[in-house]
Amino acid sequence: MTRVFVTGAAGFIGSNVVDRLLSEGLEVVGWDNFSTGRREFLAGALARPGGRFRLVEGDNLDLPALTRAMTGCDFVFHLAANADVRFGTEHPKKDLEQNTVATFHVLEAMRATGARRLAFSSTGSIYGEASVIPTPEDAPFPVQTSLYGASKLAGEGLISAYAEGFGFEGFIFRFVSILGERYTHGHVFDFFRQLREHPERLCILGDGSQRKSYLHVDDCLDAMLHAIRLGSAAPRKVHIYNLGTAEYCRVTDSVGWICAHLGLKPKFEFTGGDRGWIGDNPFIFLDTARIVATGWKPKLGIREGVVRTLDWLGQNPGCLDRS
């Protein structure tokens, strides 16, 4: 890993990856179509002396431009995605194009340019409603319940097939929900925005009993870089890791932490039912024994991740207005 191409470079996780790679002395080419990415997330990277960061604006659906931008890179972090799991049924084409076809284009660009190693942000959503919880990487063959999960599963399948067929090395990371600095969507975001607008009441999707897992973005980055560095020593073509903490929380737990941290006592309004939306998974908890066995462990628990996210949102209220 010397010159790294990062798709979704202006996004939440992507911009954190860019900063981390630059701080480790690597050269980075950032690629983003700015559909949801934010230029200010790359302000630090662009301001760094030494010229090790280059930003190219472009879309993953434009394969020739993607190929040109990637030329000369030897490792790809493919993080660009439609990361919205909740509204998939409103625009099914978005997941197909921005996740499945986009991943195909990234692989084709790699094939054309000679880059052979990539890391991919997959998701615990691909386990659907898992029959085994905590869910390990080799859980029983899942049935998809969301267009988002299906599109990420398709991306994983493509990466594995390219690894077998074209000698690629793939690192597939199945994330729980990621929290932290530059977080731009998700329940902490929704709740924080609501409470800013009307501190006296909070609308909660479902009945609040949904059990979910979260990981702080710093821990997520540590885990990915740790696994990638190990990977080269292992003879496998595809390395698949769940990334999360060894705990989960209920939506009501998180609501309690958020209200306590903000010093608010809103009235709760539940929309009802055991799911927040169609395809919502009422219990996500991944078995992270595989990555833990390699020597990584998270530094922050879910509560600390939620609190740090709240603090960042409080310091960056502009992000609330533009989402």
In angstroms, the CA 208 to CA 140 distance is: 28
Out of 205, 223, 238, 243, point to the residue binding its own copies (CB under 8 A). 238
165: contact with its own copies by CB under 8 A: yes
Q: Does residue number 114 form part of the binding site for its own copies (CB under 8 A)?
A: no
Q: Which is nearer to its own copies, 162 or 189 (CB)?
A: 162
| Interior/surface letters 113-137, b for 16+ CB within 10 angstroms, e for the rest | bebbbbbbbbbbbbbbbbeebbbbb
Q: How far apart are CA 134 and CA 246, in angstroms?
A: 9
Residue 200 C-beta: closest distance to its own copies, Å: 34
> How many residues lie near its own copies (CB under 8 A)?
42
Does 104 participate in binding its own copies (rule CB under 8 A)? yes
Closer to its own copies by Cβ: residue 166 or 268: 166
In the shown chain, the binding pattern of residues 49 to 88 toward its own copies, with x for contact by CB under 8 A and - for none, equals: ---------------------------------------x
With contacts defined by CB under 8 A, name the span among 40-48, 114-122, 142-150, 262-270 that binds its own copies: 142-150
Q: Is 235 in the site for its own copies (CB under 8 A)?
A: no
Q: What angle do CA 38, 42, 45 make, to 5 degrees?
A: 175
Residues 6+ apart with CB under 8 A from 217: 12, 13, 16, 178, 179, 180, 181, 182, 183
* CA distance linking residue 151 with residue 98, whole number of Å: 9
Nearer to its own copies, 5 or 148 (CB): 148
The DSSP element (H or E) to which 29 belongs, if any, is strand 27-32
C-alpha–C-alpha distance, residues 160 and 107, integer Å: 11
Q: Does 158 bind its own copies (CB under 8 A)?
A: yes
Binding site for its own copies (CB under 8 A): 88-89, 92-93, 96, 100-101, 104, 107-108, 111, 128, 131, 137-147, 149-151, 153-154, 156-158, 160-162, 164-166, 238, 240, 278-279
